[in-house]
């Protein structure tokens, strides 16, 4: 039977089908991507998309909130339980908005914020100069240590003492190591700064108990909901009770209008999933897979930033292979292996054509791949790097990738979106 979309708009229906096929047939290694469950997909694609709900449960500016109040409260309560947080706001449209709302809750324009520089693994919204966060605030940026590729907490403390920021941001978008949030809190306390921890990438690892939680230490924790946490595309803020009102006001009406209730219903479903023992096993396997893949890549002579990984993410410095990051990620894509090119610390190349490739294991772990398949994927990388200009070899690897993927169809509860 034809779906409504197929009948009404066959062009869009066809493109969505093609995207589904692409996602099914590829080894998806972008560390911020995943496959959500059918239940999350159902909630996100529901009639909640029709509803405006400006305000918060019990205090809205529009009527007809009999159901939306219950949904948002459910999402909040479930998230509070998963992260043991005092207060949760599930309304940010994305991690970027969540970060800006966090800073605006505790800073005035012109105040000093201090975050990890983008080329060193930080996010745009950690104060990078082209982002509003780098324009509205006086942004000071820290680096990873030149020798280790890891945070040097003494160096960060020295920089904090020099600049006395109002806010220190701990978190990253391309950092393969576990973050010591307690050490960051000590640094923040030593200069009287607020600590904002952005766990967008590792939220699922924190929820699954695999990585240290910043919740006991940070004044505000910011996250997206769709990376390792495996929910719909959205953002979320957590904070101590004393900042609850400031955070809520900063999100609405400070940064946003009506919340996306369809996304919030998907977040509610994802939070119930994240509370299960299955999810904890999933989080553990993400890390086991990343560690194994890192080990095997190093055996093939790939140079990994920081010499490995503790989390879901691997950053490959391609300089020793004589291949630019973009060229490698394009060749991988031709072979149905999807990654992104990325800067590496102290990158001599430009951010548009950087020296690194960033990969991660959240999506392939959802489809059930384990250590054995990581060995095969590392071999694919080796074959592609050694034959970077050979279209025939790349095509052959692409076929092997399709075969591997067909042996790992998504588990039943992750299969849907035929419309």
CB of 95 to ligand DSN, least distance (A): 6
Instruction: Considering only residues 109 through 168, tell me which ones interact with ligand DSN, judged by CB under 6 A.
Output: 123
CB 168 within 8 A of CB 193: yes
63 annotated active-site: no
Instruction: Considering only residues 73 through 112, tell me which ones interact with ligand DSN, judged by CB under 6 A.
Output: 95
Nearer of residues 114 and 200 to ligand DSN, judged by Cβ: 200
> Residue 94 class from Cβ within 10 Å (0-12 exposed, 13-18 middle, 19+ buried)?
middle
54 annotated active-site: yes
Note the Cα 109 to chain centre separation in Å: 27
User: Which of the following is catalytic: 72, 120, 198, 219?
Assistant: 198
User: Which of the following is catalytic: 51, 177, 185, 227?
Assistant: 227
CB of 62 to ligand DSN, least distance (A): 30
CB of 8 to ligand DSN, least distance (A): 33
224 annotated active-site: yes
Strand partners, 314: 359
User: Which of the following is catalytic: 224, 225, 228, 343?
Assistant: 224
Cα angle 95, 415, 335; round to 5: 75
CB of 96 to ligand DSN, least distance (A): 7
CB of 123 to ligand DSN, least distance (A): 6
Residue (of 153, 168, 34) closest to 106 by Cα position: 168
Nearer of residues 95 and 204 to ligand DSN, judged by Cβ: 95
User: Which of the following is catalytic: 6, 17, 38, 52?
Assistant: 52
230 annotated active-site: no
Please give the Cα distance from 142 to 385 (Å, whole number): 32
Q: What angle in degrees, to the nearest 10, is found between the helix axes of 371-386 and 277-299?
A: 40
Residue in the structure block whose two tokens are 């060995």: 375
62 annotated active-site: no
DSSP-derived secondary structure for 332-345:
HHHTTEE-EEE--T
Total number of residues that touch ligand DSN (CB under 6 A): 4
CB 250 within 8 A of CB 102: yes
Please give the Cα distance from 24 to 366 (Å, whole number): 12
Give me the torsion for CA of 172, 275, 85, 118, rounded to 10°.
Answer: 10
With residue 419 as reference, give the H or E element that holds it.
Answer: none
Instruction: Considering only residues 286 through 305, tell me which ones interact with ligand DSN, judged by CB under 6 A.
Output: none
Query: Which residue's Cβ lies closest to ligand DSN?
Result: 32
Nearer of residues 67 and 124 to ligand DSN, judged by Cβ: 124
Please give the Cα distance from 198 to 169 (Å, whole number): 7
Nearer of residues 131 and 336 to ligand DSN, judged by Cβ: 131
Nearer of residues 37 and 228 to ligand DSN, judged by Cβ: 228
166 annotated active-site: no
Nearer of residues 31 and 398 to ligand DSN, judged by Cβ: 31
CB of 358 to ligand DSN, least distance (A): 8
Does 225 participate in binding ligand DSN (rule CB under 6 A)?
no
Give me the torsion for CA of 32, 34, 38, 43, rounded to 10°.
Answer: 0
Does 32 participate in binding ligand DSN (rule CB under 6 A)?
yes
User: Which of the following is catalytic: 60, 81, 233, 379?
Assistant: 233
Helix, strand, coil % in the chain, rounded to nearest 5: 50, 15, 40
Please give the Cα distance from 9 to 245 (Å, whole number): 44
Does 173 participate in binding ligand DSN (rule CB under 6 A)?
yes
Please give the Cα distance from 270 to 226 (Å, whole number): 9
CB of 267 to ligand DSN, least distance (A): 17
Nearer of residues 95 and 208 to ligand DSN, judged by Cβ: 95
Binding residues vs ligand DSN (CB under 6 A): 32, 95, 123, 173
Q: Which residues are catalytic?
A: 52, 54, 198, 224, 227, 233
């Amino acid at each position: 039977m034809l779906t409504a979309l197929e009948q009404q708009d066959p062009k869009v229906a066809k493109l969505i089908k093609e995207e589904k096929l692409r996602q099914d047939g590829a080894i998806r290694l972008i560390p911020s991507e995943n496959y959500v469950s059918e239940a999350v997909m159902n909630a996100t694609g529901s009639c909640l998309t029709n509803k405006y709900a400006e305000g918060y449960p019990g205090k809205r500016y529009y009527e007809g909130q009999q159901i939306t109040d219950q949904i948002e409260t459910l999402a909040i309560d479930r998230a509070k339980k998963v992260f043991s947080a005092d207060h949760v706001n599930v309304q940010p449209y994305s991690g970027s908005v969540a970060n800006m709302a966090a800073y605006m809750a505790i800073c005035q324009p012109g105040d000093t914020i201090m975050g990890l520089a983008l080329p060193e693994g930080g996010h745009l919204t950690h104060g990078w100069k082209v982002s509003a966060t780098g324009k509205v605030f006086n942004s000071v940026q820290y680096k990873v240590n030149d020798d280790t590729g890891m945070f040097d907490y003494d160096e960060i403390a020295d920089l904090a003492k020099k600049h006395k920021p109002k806010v220190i941001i701990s978190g990253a978008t391309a950092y393969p190591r576990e973050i010591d949030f307690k050490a960051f809190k000590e640094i923040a306390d030593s200069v009287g700064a607020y600590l904002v921890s952005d766990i967008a990438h590792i939220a699922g690892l924190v929820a699954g108990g695999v990585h240290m939680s910043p919740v006991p230490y940070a004044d505000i924790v910011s996250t997206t909901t769709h990376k390792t946490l495996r929910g719909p595309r959205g953002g979320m803020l957590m904070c101590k009770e004393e900042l609850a009102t400031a955070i809520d006001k900063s999100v609405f009406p400070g940064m946003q209008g009506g919340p996306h209730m369809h996304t919030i219903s998907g977040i509610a479903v994802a939070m119930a999933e994240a509370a299960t023992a299955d999810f904890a096993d999933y989080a553990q396997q993400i890390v086991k897979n990343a560690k194994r893949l890192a080990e095997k890549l190093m055996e093939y002579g790939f140079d990994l930033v920081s010499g490995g990984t503790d989390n879901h993410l691997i950053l490959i410095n391609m300089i020793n292979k004589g291949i630019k990051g973009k060229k490698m990620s394009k060749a991988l894509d031709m072979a149905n292996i999807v990654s992104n090119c990325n800067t590496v610390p102290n990158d001599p190349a430009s951010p548009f054509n950087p020296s690194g490739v960033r990969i991660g294991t959240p999506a392939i772990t959802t489809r059930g791949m384990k250590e054995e398949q990581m060995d095969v994927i590392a071999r694919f990388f080796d074959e592609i790097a050694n034959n970077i200009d050979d279209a025939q070899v790349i095509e052959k690897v692409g076929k092997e990738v399709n075969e591997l993927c067909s042996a790992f169809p998504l588990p039943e509860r992750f299969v849907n979106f035929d419309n």
